[in-house]
Amino acid sequence: MTLRILARAPVWFAGSAVMLVLINRQLALMVTTFIPLIMGLMWLFARKAQPLFLLVQKQLDKLNTVLQENLAGVRVVKAFVRIDHETARFDEANRQLMTKTIQVMQLMALLMPTMMLIVNLGIVGVVWFGGISTIRGEMTVGQIVAAISYLSFVLFPIMMLAGMIGPLSAADASASVSSKFSIAALTYRNRRMHVISVVCKER
């Protein structure tokens, strides 16, 4: 569903922009000033979100490591009466993961309200400019309503893209961590094969 909407988004954007220009060029020029502002805001949020998602991924890896150690060495933990210590380790790792996750979710929660504020400011600008033009007899009320609809169609694809910043940033962070593990595993395998080949040659 989302991919289908994003595939149609360029057509909506181009068609709505053309219709805005046909209705009133000055109005279309005013609307275009909001697009760089929204794109810049999206870039800023994406730049701040990606490192935070990477920290969340690292904390999740740390939590999984603590859990794996406890499960693998459960007999040792019981034998040396380290249950309270290991529980405290797990609680600390879990608390750090929760803190980082809350931070990144708070950041992403600010994105859509800020975007909607800019969109509503654009609508206010259209109504204000269109009202003045209507008083002068340069526009009609129907053209103002149409301009608001076209403005929504112009900004809708950008809003959809903004809504995907969070998932894309999280996916990028996960891919970065996964690639590091893949490289490490490949390096270990190559070194192991090299050692085996050297040993075979010596024999």
Which domain CATH number covers 27?
1.20.1560.10
Is pLDDT of 199 > 60?
no
Lowest mean pLDDT among 7-21, 95-109, 126-140, 177-191: 177-191
List, in order, residues 6 or more apart from 16 with CB less than 8 Å away: 150, 151, 153, 154
Q: How far apart are CA 112 and CA 164, in angstroms?
A: 11
Residue 173 binned pLDDT confidence (cut-offs 50, 70, 90): low
Spatial contact of 35 and 94, defined as CB atoms under 8 Å apart:
no
SS3 149: helix
Q: Is residue 199 part of a domain?
A: no
Arithmetic mean of pLDDT, 179-192? 61
pLDDT of residue 192: 59
Give pLDDT tens digits for 124-171: 888 888 888 888 887 788 888 888 888 877 777 777 777 777 776 666
Q: Is residue 183 part of a domain?
A: no
Q: Is residue 185 part of a domain?
A: no
pTM equals 0.66
Residue 75 binned pLDDT confidence (cut-offs 50, 70, 90): confident
Q: Is residue 37 part of a domain?
A: yes
- Check residues 157 and 3 and name the one with the higher pLDDT: 157
Q: Is residue 79 part of a domain?
A: yes
Domain that holds residue 27: 2-174
pLDDT of residue 16: 76
Spatial contact of 34 and 126, defined as CB atoms under 8 Å apart:
no
List, in order, residues 6 or more apart from 49 with CB less than 8 Å away: 104, 107, 108, 165, 166, 169
Q: Is residue 181 part of a domain?
A: no
Q: Is residue 182 part of a domain?
A: no
Tell me which residue has tokens 């909506």. Answer: 12
Give pLDDT tens digits for 76-119: 766 777 778 878 888 888 898 888 888 888 888 888 888 888 88
Q: Is residue 198 part of a domain?
A: no
Residue 44 binned pLDDT confidence (cut-offs 50, 70, 90): confident
The mean pLDDT value of the chain amounts to 76
Number of domains in the chain: 1
Is pLDDT of 194 > 80?
no
